[in-house]
Homo-oligomer: A and B are copies of this chain.
Amino acid sequence: MRIALDAMGGDHAPAEVVRGAVESAREHKIEVVLVGQQEVIKPQIGLYDQTGLTLNIVDASQVVEMGEHPAMATRQKRDSSIVVGMNLLKEGKVSAFVSAGNSGAVMAAALLILGRLEKIERPAIGTVFPTSSGKAFLLDVGANADCKPAHLVQFAHMGSLYMEKVFGIERPRVALLSNGEEETKGNQLVLEAHQLLKKSNINFIGNIEGKDMPKGGADVVVCDGFTGNVVVKVTEGLSEMLFESLRQALTRQLHHRVAASILRPAFSDVRKQLDYTEYGGAPLLGVNGVVIIAHGRSDAKAIKNALSAAKQAVEQDMLTALKSEVAH
């Protein structure tokens, strides 16, 4: 299987991206096509032993920066790693495209070049989040700030299928994020979506409150992209603050420092459990191709896990399943 990877995208590109590609090629037995400036990528690949690996470079002279206007950058930088990578996917030269670059531009390019799946009005970005019993999937986390009830139903279909195909969860429990469990709770959007979901063939378990998400109360949690984005970022900020507070509290006194050093492995286990890099990026669902958006701060491990998620989605033929699911 051949997967294209945006070698120029992300805060730690190209070094960490290339390292992730090398490790992934070795571990997951995939061919990685690194898309970007050849003269930058080549020396990075040269740092590793490539015996038995298939790593190709497809040259792309331009780079879409993180702050650039997504649609504009996509239209103007036709030789950027994002546009070139997406075209490889469109032309069937690769089976999936992974990028840690400007996520708005990845989305714009996907819409422009791949197009939407039939009957999906709005593609959504999903993200896997840790729960005390494993993991769950939240969508939309940023593609659509304003949604209609029917969009949330489409998100529910796509999220359910993703968890089933990529993580092997049978008949995932789908919930609607709300400000109360009762079906009378919610804003207008949620109230209407609730009624539509009840009538659908989705395994809809009702509303879920924010406090029950980390407890694993649902396998798929659906919300509009504004709420989802806020949830993801609050989670990020809170985890950071918490570990920083702990670090400070635990190093204030010498005997604490000694005790804390003994516990370091246990702490890092917990951090790892909460670490987004463990969960393989955020799929862009609803476009006509397998596209995974990795976090801008991705390190090699995050890239490797995003490539693994892409591989899984391709092997399980998620796209065909999605098309047939949505057609019904």
Q: Contact residues of A with B, CB < 8 Å?
A: 131-132, 142, 145-146, 177-179, 185-188, 190, 209-215, 223-227, 229-242, 244-246, 249-250, 252, 255-256, 259-260, 262-263, 266-267, 269-270, 273-274
- Residues of B near A236 (CB, < 8 A) are 210-211
Q: What's the Cα separation between A179 and B132 when bound, in Å? A: 26
Q: Are B260 and A263 in contact, with the CB atoms below 8 A? A: yes
- Residues of B near A178 (CB, < 8 A) are 226, 230
Known: A142-B179, A226-B179. A238 touches B241 (CB 8 A): no
For the complex with contacts A210-B237, A249-B266, 4 further pairs of A-B residues with Cβ separation under 8 Å are A190-B226, A209-B233, A210-B235, A259-B259
Q: How many protomers of this protein does the assembly include?
A: 2
- Residues of B near A232 (CB, < 8 A) are 210
- Residues of B near A270 (CB, < 8 A) are 242, 245-246, 249
Q: Are B225 and A179 in contact, with the CB atoms below 8 A? A: yes
In the assembled complex, how far is the CB of residue A213 from the closest CB belonging to chain B, in whole angstroms? 6
Q: What's the Cα separation between A237 and B208 when bound, in Å? A: 12
Q: Are A187 and B237 in contact, with the CB atoms below 8 A? A: no
Give the residue of B132, B231, B238 whose beta carbon is less than 8 angstroms from that of A230.
Answer: B231
